[in-house]
């Protein structure tokens, strides 16, 4: 299969389109045929920083974390997903490939009203907003929340998530 990977750290010109082995799944994983993936700042940092990629080992030099696609096969312990389900999710690298083996817990059914491209742009940014509000901000109903930068990707999700928690959003 084809995949975008880097074999050394540096600027974008270190990225290469290579032929790599198709992943095999573990019992708790699904094999996703990737239809779309997105690029996030963490992907740039991993590719450009030898220190960061040493500290945060992804186990792969294939770029990308956010993905969407269709399940091609499921591991024997997978209960919530089946072959041909359209999914989106967030892995630890490897999303800029034709196929990704990913834990059942790291993907969800893609909303029918979203394109694969739209769905691939959601996971990391939405997770960032959720963690900031729920885990760090301890958001709760009736809390007043000021979201600066609400027109950005993370901010857009932050507004929606804060409202879903019952907060008063400015």
Q: How confident is the model at residue 51 (pLDDT cuts 50, 70, 90)?
A: low
Domains and CATH numbers, the chain: 2-114 (3.90.180.10), 124-169 (no CATH)
pLDDT at 56 over 70: no
pLDDT at 52: 56
pLDDT of 15 > 80? The answer is yes
The string over 105-141, giving b where at least 16 C-beta atoms fall within 10 Å of a residue's C-beta and e elsewhere, is ebbbebeeeeebeebbbbbbbbebbbebbeeeeebee
- Could you tell me the pTM of the whole model? 0.85
């Amino acid at each position: 299969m084809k995949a975008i990977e880097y074999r050394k750290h540096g600027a974008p010109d270190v990225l290469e389109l290579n032929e790599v082995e198709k992943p095999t799944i573990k019992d708790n994983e699904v094999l996703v045929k990737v239809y779309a993936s997105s690029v996030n700042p963490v992907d740039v940092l991993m590719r450009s920083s030898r220190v960061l990629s040493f500290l945060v080992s992804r186990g792969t030099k294939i770029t990308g974390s956010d993905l969407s696609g269709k399940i091609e096969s499921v591991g024997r312990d997978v209960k919530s997903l089946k072959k041909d389900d359209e999914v989106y999710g967030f892995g630890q690298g490897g999303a800029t490939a034709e196929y990704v083996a990913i834990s059942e817990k790291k993907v969800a059914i893609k909303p029918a009203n979203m394109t694969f491209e739209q769905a691939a742009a959601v996971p990391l940014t939405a997770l960032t907003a959720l963690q900031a509000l729920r885990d760090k901000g301890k958001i709760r109903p009736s809390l007043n929340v000021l979201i600066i930068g609400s027109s950005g990707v993370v901010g857009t999700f932050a507004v929606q998530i804060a409202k879903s928690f019952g907060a008063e959003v400015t």
